[in-house]
Amino acid sequence: MLVFSRRKEESFMIGDDIEIMICDVRNNGTVVRLGITAPTGGQVYRKEVYDLIQQELNPINNTGQAKGTKDGRKHNTKTTNGR
C-alpha cells in the first residue's frame, strides 16, 4: 500500500487523469473529506459497498468453496453414453 501525507487543499495524482484532493479534515483528524477529479463513466464505490457487490457477483462463498459443493471443486455433470 502506498501511503501519502497531505494537508487540507493538497492533492495527489493517479496517472494523468485522476486527482485526489483533501477537501476537509474534521473531528481531530478522524474524518477526512476527499474530492476526486476523474474521467466520467467510471464507477466509484466505498470499499465496504464494493466488497458487498463482489460477494454477490462471486460464485465462491465465504468459506472459499463453490456454492453447492462440499469441497469447493466444480463437478462435471456431463455424461457420455450413460457412463
The model's pTM is: 0.59
- Kindly state whether residue 78 falls inside one of the protein's structural domains: no
Per-residue model confidence (pLDDT) at position 82: 46
Q: Does 81 score more than 80 pLDDT?
A: no
Per-residue model confidence (pLDDT) at position 42: 85
In angstroms, the first-to-last Cα distance of the chain is 52
Q: What does the alpha-carbon distance between residue 43 and residue 50 come to, in Å, rounded to a whole number?
A: 10
Q: What does the alpha-carbon distance between residue 66 and residue 58 come to, in Å, rounded to a whole number?
A: 9
User: How many domains does one find in the chain?
Assistant: 1
Task: Domain of residue 49: give its range.
Answer: 11-57
- Kindly state whether residue 22 falls inside one of the protein's structural domains: yes
| 29-41 core/surface letters (b: 16 or more CB in 10 A; e: else) | eeeeeeeeeeeee
Per-residue model confidence (pLDDT) at position 40: 92
More confident residue, 4 or 67: 4
- Kindly state whether residue 21 falls inside one of the protein's structural domains: yes
- Kindly state whether residue 48 falls inside one of the protein's structural domains: yes
Q: Tell me which H or E stretch contains 53.
A: helix 47-57
Q: Does 75 score more than 60 pLDDT?
A: no
Each residue's pLDDT tens digit, 22-72:
999 999 989 999 999 999 988 889 999 999 999 999 867 655 555 544 544
- The dihedral formed by the CA atoms of 66, 71, 74 and 76, expressed in degrees to the nearest 10: -150
- Kindly state whether residue 49 falls inside one of the protein's structural domains: yes
